[in-house]
Amino acid sequence: MKAAIYIRVSTDEQASDGFSIEAQKRRLISYADSQDWDVAEVYIDDGWSAKDLKRPEMQRMIKDVEGRLFDVVLVYKLDRMTRSASDCDNLLKMFELHNVKFQSCTESFETRTATGRLFIRLVADIAQWERENTAERVRMGMEQMVIEGRRPGGPINFGYDKYERLVEEEIAQIRLVRKFYMEGDGIKAVAERMNEMGFIRRGYTWSAFSVWYVLDNPYYAGKLRYGTKKANGKYVSRKKEGVVPLTFGDGSQEKLFTWEEYQEHKAEMDRRSFTGFPQSREYCFSGVLICGKCGHKMSGRYHQNKRKDGSYNKIKSYMCGNRQMGKGCTMPMFRQELVENLIMDWINDISLDHKQLKQIAVTIEKSTEEREREFLVKELEKVKERKKKWQRMYADDLIDENELREHTRDELTNERTIVEQLKIMPETLNKEVTEPGDLLFELPDLWPLLNDKERHDLVLDIFKEIVLFTPVEKAQARKGKFIPASIEKITFN
C-alpha cells in the first residue's frame, strides 16, 4: 500500500523537538515501515498555521488525493493536518470519496466506522476551540497595547525607523503625496506622479493602495488604530474568527501630521467618495484631459440650469487646475458634450486602412500594472517550483533539516512579498481583455450603451493623455454653440 506523509510545523512550534520536521519525518517513516507501506510522497508545510487549508503543500496533497496517487495519508498528530472542525470534516469526506484512508501514528484513530469518524471530529472540535481561544487572548492583548500607546506589532510604517522616529527622506515623499492629493489629484494620479518623479517606497513603486493607506492611516498623526470600522451601525470585518471593535490610542511615535491636518485630508477623501467609487468617475474624461495652454490636468465640475418646467439640468464641464487655483491660465471651461464630440470626430477622421491600424496598435501597449502583474505571477510560479525541489531533495536525504528550513524560509519570504504585491494591484476589469486598438474604434458604438462609471473606466483603459486646445481666452460658449476647440495630441496606455 502506498502512503503519503504530511508534516507541518508552525513558526511557534519550530523550536519544539517533539514537532520538528526531522522528528516527525523519522517517526512517520518508521511507522510506515512497520506497516509495510511504501512512502509515495512527503508533503512539508514549514511555518504555516493549521487554521485553514490554504497551505501550499496541503493544496498539492489534496490534488494528489484526487489523482489517487496513494492509498493512505499518514500524520504525526491530527492537529498537524488541521485545527478546524469543518476542514477536518471536509478532508475526511474527500478521503472517503477517493478511497484514501487516514492514519495518525500517535493517536488511535480509524475512519472505517461511524464511531471512529465521530471521535476524530470531536478531537478536531477541541483543536479548533484551542486555536480560537488563543486568538481571543491575542486580540485582547493587542487592544490593550493600543490603549497603552504601544504599537501592536506589524511592519514598521513607511516614514519611520524601528524606534518610531521620523526618517526625513521618507517623510518628504509622504508630504508630497498629501500635497498632490489636496491640490486635486486623485489617488491613482498621485501614485503615477510620484513614480514619474522617480520616488521609490522601500524598494517598491507607489500604487493607488499605498497612497490611500498613507492618507488613511492615523499613525502619521500620532494615533494607534486596531480593529475594524463600523458601517451602518455594524462592524465590518474580514476575519473568520469574529469582529474586532475599532480601538484608538495615543502612540509614542513622532508626529508627521497634526490631528487637524489628518482630519482635513480624511474629510476630503470622504467628500470624494460617491456610492462606492470616486465622484471623478461621474466625469468620463477625468484623469486624462490636459490643458493645451499650460499642461496642467483638467478636473470635472458642474453647474445647473433651470428648465421652464422648474426642473434642473446638470451640465458637466472640465476646468484647468491652474485656472481653478488662480495661477494665471486662460484656458476656458469645456463642456463634456464638446469633449465627447471631439473624440468621436477624431476617431472617425482616422483612415481605417490596415497599415494605419497596425501603426496605432503598436503605440497602444499593455499598461505598466498589467506587465508588472504578469511578471509577478511568473515569479510566484518559480518560487513554488523551487519549494517543491527543496522538499524532494530533503525527502531523498540530499539536504538536512536545517538546510530545508533555511531554503523554505527564504522562499516563503519571497512568496509572501509577491502575494502582497499582487493583493494591492487592481484586478483586470474583464477576464477576456480586448486589444486596445479594437476598443479605440469600437468606442463610438459602445459609448451610448455605457453608464458614466463604465465610460470613465473605458477611457482610462484606452487613453493616457488627451490634450485640448482653443485660441479662445476664458470665454463662455454662446447658447446652443460650443467653444471652437480641437484635440492637439493623444497618447495611449
98: left (phi over 0), alpha (psi -120 to 50) or beta: alpha
Of 380, 381, 384, 361, the residue nearest 434 (C-alpha): 361
Of 176, 138, 169, 165, the residue nearest 251 (C-alpha): 165
Which candidate in 10, 20, 49, 367 is catalytic? 10
Helix axes 259-272, 168-182, angle to 10 degrees: 40
Pairing state of beta strands 289-291 and 463-469?
parallel
Distance CA 14, CA 387 (A): 18
Distance CA 445, CA 436 (A): 15
Distance CA 245, CA 234 (A): 10
Any bridge partners for residue 468, and if so which?
291, 487
Residue appearing with cell numbers 464638446: 338
* H or E segment and range at residue 454: helix 452-462
Tally of CA atoms within 13 A in the half-sphere of 465 that contains its CB: 13
Q: Are 75 and 6 within 8 A, CB to CB?
A: yes
Of 38, 46, 18, 32, the residue nearest 399 (C-alpha): 46
* Single-letter amino acid code for the residue at 273: S
* Single-letter amino acid code for the residue at 229: K
Q: Are 72 and 28 within 8 A, CB to CB?
A: no
Does the active-site annotation cover 10?
A: yes
Residue appearing with cell numbers 513603486: 205
Within 10 angstroms of residue 325's Cβ, the number of other Cβ atoms is 12
DSSP state for residue 366 in the 8-state scheme: P
Pairing state of beta strands 72-75 and 2-9?
parallel
Q: What residues are annotated to the active site?
A: 10
